[in-house]
Amino acid sequence: MATATYLVTVSGPDRVGVGAELFEAVSTLSAHGGKISDVAQITIKGALVLCCEVTVDGSITETEIEAAILRQNIVADGITATVLLVDTCEVNAGGRLLVTLLAPSISAEQLSGIFNAIAASSATCERIVHLASYPVDCYELVVRGLDHSVLRENVTKVAKTIGLDLAVQKAGLHRRAKHLVVMDADSTLLQDEVIDLLADECGCAEEVSKITAAAMAGEIDFSESLRRRVSLLKGLDESVLATVRSKIRLTPGAKTLLRTLQRLGYVPAVVSGGFEEILEPLLKELKVEYLKANHLEVKDGKLTGNVVGEIVDRAGKARALEQFAREVGVPLEQTVAVGDGANDIDMLSVAGLGIAFNAKPVVQEHADAALSVPYLDAVLYFLGISREEIENN
């Protein structure tokens, strides 16, 4: 016997027992092969919308289903119920993507732009979750479509035009599996550039700044620029390291990010072109166990102006992420990299999710997602973690 699929929608003021009454009504259809094929519910400020997709054999009509619902006293106290025959052939096929939108405030006009881009990609939005309303606004959309590359391209283009931060990821259970989250230090985890703080103490800030500018202009590579800058620190007393460490400022939201990751069983790590002598004591306080950074050579209580061992450069950061992933025991698909500079590009590209944090356009082009807000804990929203979960620390 042919089957038919109906969408039963119950809406109105939420009250105790509505779900029980609806599913009891559906259970009375078992003699007609009635079974639930899908269920979804949302409640916003006490207003309920509960949808149930029901498959039955062709012997029962829409009117008989409505009667079964009425017998359960669901329609009362302002609650209504509708039954609609669904043409299952019209249901959009394809896999699901998660589209995360973030900004200080998200307007209806911006949402309109994103949803028009979704429609232009022949995709549909199945679910919307409001992950946060402060200190930033963030929505996560579950989008289904056949051509993910077209969808990604269209929503990314629109998001840049209308000023939304965006992440587009494949949906799946891996979202809540164990993750390794690797962060750059200077201008990402930290507000400061440690080499600049050291240069201030040494009285060579101007010279260091010139070398940094040359490196950013592509005139010299990172390793050479680091050696030149560190050479200017020769003779600096070792005690200055503690002085600089005391001046370091964490990026807003950094402690919240680390605390939440650790509570949820994720593993935070830091990979930096900076210096282990500065970072290690700080990260120990923050309970971060994984660190890869450069070593300053110290002899007789003075900096020699040399870097000891292999320099952690652009390629070295990517290798460190891969090494940490092996040690932690997670596949690269479950790694997240966060950075702001050109020497983070390889790391962002290797990670399952690369996030450019207040980065220049060239870095954003190599990342899966970009954040332009000043709060580092906004990274959590791209992992599907809501503000409510964050505050339950």
- Using DSSP's 3-state secondary structure scheme, residue 376 falls into helix
Using CA atoms, how far apart are residues 165 and 380, in angstroms rounded to an integer? Answer: 13
Q: CA–CA distance from 228 to each of 173, 199, 211, 223, 236 (Å)?
A: 47, 12, 7, 9, 15
Q: Which residue has the tokens 């870097």?
A: 307
Q: Which of 137, 165, 186, 346 is catalytic?
A: 186
Give catalytic status of residue 186 as yes or no. Answer: yes
Residue 133: CB atoms within 10 Å: 12
Q: Which of 137, 165, 184, 377 is catalytic?
A: 184
Give catalytic status of residue 57 as yes or no. Answer: no
Helices 194-202 and 222-231 cross at an angle (nearest 10°) of 30
Q: Contact 304/297 with Cβ under 8 angstroms?
A: yes
Using CA atoms, how far apart are residues 231 and 223, in angstroms rounded to an integer? Answer: 12
Using CA atoms, how far apart are residues 131 and 233, in angstroms rounded to an integer? Answer: 46
CA 338-155-105 angle, to 5 degrees, is: 70
- Using DSSP's 3-state secondary structure scheme, residue 34 falls into coil
Decide the pairing of beta strands 3-13 and 80-86.
Answer: antiparallel
CA 143 to chain centre: 16
Q: Which residues are catalytic?
A: 184, 186
